[in-house]
Amino acid sequence: MKKVLVIFTALFLVLMFSTPTIASKQSTLEDALLSLMWEDVRKATVEHYDLNDVQYWNEKVLELKMTNGLSFEITIQLDAFVGAHNTIGTDTLKFVREIPDGLKLVSYKHTPSKEKKEILEWYFKNRS
């Protein structure tokens, strides 16, 4: 009887105090949109840094504004890095999509990390 009471109490406590994890619908849509924009974002970062090995992570949508029908403006932010996630700065990119022209980069703002100079010196020195 004691075992049943202990099991019941433990089960009750687990069920009472566990909170279900619910994925945000917005983050899923943002992830899908960012994955559709991958080629354009990649092209913009490579051109900005003039470096094929630059990568990015921690991307997020800062603003999305529908302008007319299927046209929109989108501002995204990402952390650019080289090597093993050695962040060289935070970049803010603004794209405009207009029919029939497609997605166009209209602005690119780079905020360098404090270690950017040292990271790039190390990277170019150790690149094979």
- How would DSSP label each residue in 49-81? HT-TT-EEEEEEEEEEEEEETTEEEEEEEEEEE
Task: Give the confidence band of 18 by pLDDT, cuts at 50, 70, 90.
Answer: low
CB distance 109 to 91 below 8 Å: yes
99 assigned to some structural domain: yes
Average pLDDT over residues 67-89: 92
**pTM attached to this predicted model:** 0.75
Q: How many residues in total does the chain contain?
A: 128
1 assigned to some structural domain: no
CB distance 57 to 85 below 8 Å: yes
Distance CA 51, CA 66 (A): 32
Higher pLDDT, 4 or 63: 63
Average pLDDT over residues 78-106: 93
Question: 53: domain range?
Answer: 22-126
- Checking if the pLDDT of 125 tops 90, the result is no
CATH, residue 54: 3.10.450
Distance CA 63, CA 78 (A): 13
